[in-house]
């Protein structure tokens, strides 16, 4: 937040300055410290502690190996205050069948949504013992679940933070990806070519093509190549009809 904060050398990783890691009611200084270390590893700067056990928070912050991110972490009395500036609030949970009326996303899906969000994103992690309460979840726009095996769903807090943040930085920023307009153009030209070649029998072919094309996850550079090829095929097919 402060202008004086030194930004880490991102080593080619995507920017994540708009993401805050919010630990709700953490009790163990080792876990707070582990979360801070994970944040430092992946270049996240903003840690917020909600109703943290004071001794634990102070111990984590003043420890000999405390990361910059821990020293600068801020305390909030309530979750509401901690996320006041966030326009997207994402809760993490290990349970697959919570009794809440919010859809639970896979971590990968949520990561894409978070990367594409322009305002402040708050990612909430519950206490070591109980996770996020139903009340906490009420503040969330969506819930995310790290995929774990059925009989060992409960993750260590530091590890949950680490895996979640890794998923946020592992892929290149979405600026790499082909814009939707280019994909639509590719689908339209391909559809035209297939019609000329007599391929198109069903009503929903163009929707099918759209889904197939989306699943290619094309980077812009590759999309330009594919589009060029389809245009050439289409030109030839047209010139002969």
Contact set with a copy of itself (CB under 8 A): 8-13, 30, 34, 37-38, 40-43, 67, 96, 107-108, 146-156, 158-159, 162-163, 166-167, 169-170, 190, 193-194, 196-199, 208, 212, 215-219, 222, 225-226, 228-229, 232-233, 235-237, 240
**In this complex, which beta carbon is closest to a copy of itself, that of residue 86 or of residue 110?**
110
* Residue among 86 and 111 whose Cβ is closer to a copy of itself: 111
- CA-to-CA distance for 147 and 35, rounded, in angstroms? 19
- The string of DSSP codes covering 12-37 is TPPP-TTEEEEEES---HHHHHHHHH
d(CA 60, CA 157): 14
CB 65 within 8 Å of CB 38: no
Q: Pick from 89, 65, 82, 105: which is nearest to 25 by CA?
A: 82
Q: Report in angstroms how near the CB of residue 14 gets to a copy of itself at its nearest.
A: 10
Angle at 233 between CA 231 and CA 239, to 5 degrees: 100
- Residue closer to a copy of itself, measured from CB, 9 or 135: 9
Q: Provide the terminal-to-terminal Cα distance of the chain, rounded to the nearest Å.
A: 63
Nearer to a copy of itself (CB atom), residue 42 or residue 125:
42
E strands within the chain?
A: 19-24, 46-50, 74-76, 88-93, 104-106, 121-125, 142-145
Minimum CB distance to a copy of itself smaller for 41 or for 142: 41
How near is the Cβ of 82 to a copy of itself at its closest, in Å? 24
Nearer to a copy of itself, 5 or 170 (CB): 170
User: Smallest gap, in angstroms, from Cβ of residue 105 to a copy of itself?
Assistant: 13
Closer of 87 and 156 to a copy of itself (Cβ): 156
Whole-number minimum distance, CB 77 to a copy of itself, in Å?
29
CA distance linking residue 71 with residue 73, whole number of Å: 6
* Smallest gap from residue 78 Cβ to a copy of itself (A): 29
Contact 45, 15 (CB under 8 A): no
* CA pair distance 5, 2, nearest whole angstrom: 6
State the minimum distance, in angstroms, from the CB of residue 156 to a copy of itself: 6
Name the minimum Å distance from CB 169 to a copy of itself. 6
SS3 128: coil
């Amino acid at each position: 937040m402060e202008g004086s904060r030194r930004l880490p050398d991102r080593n080619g990783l995507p920017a994540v300055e708009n993401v805050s890691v919010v630990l709700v009611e953490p009790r163990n200084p080792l876990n707070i410290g582990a979360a801070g270390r994970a944040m430092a590893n992946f270049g996240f700067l903003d840690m917020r502690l909600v109703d943290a056990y004071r001794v634990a928070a102070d111990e984590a912050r003043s420890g000999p190996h405390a990361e910059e991110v821990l020293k600068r972490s801020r305390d909030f009395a309530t979750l509401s205050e901690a996320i006041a500036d966030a326009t997207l609030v994402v809760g993490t949970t290990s349970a697959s069948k919570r009794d809440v009326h919010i859809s639970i996303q896979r971590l990968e899906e949520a990561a894409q949504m978070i990367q594409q969000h322009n305002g402040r994103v708050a990612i909430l992690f519950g206490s070591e013992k109980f996770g996020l309460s139903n009340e906490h979840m009420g503040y969330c726009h969506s819930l995310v679940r790290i995929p774990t095996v059925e009989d060992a769903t409960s993750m260590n807090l530091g590890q949950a933070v680490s895996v979640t943040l890794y998923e946020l930085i592992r892929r290149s920023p979405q600026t790499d990806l082909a814009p939707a307009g280019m994909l639509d153009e590719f689908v339209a030209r391909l559809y035209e070519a297939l019609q000329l070649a007599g391929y198109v029998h069903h009503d929903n072919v163009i929707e099918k093509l759209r889904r197939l094309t989306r699943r290619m996850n094309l980077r812009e550079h590759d999309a330009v190549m594919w589009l060029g090829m389809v245009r050439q095929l289409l030109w030839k097919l047209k010139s002969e009809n």
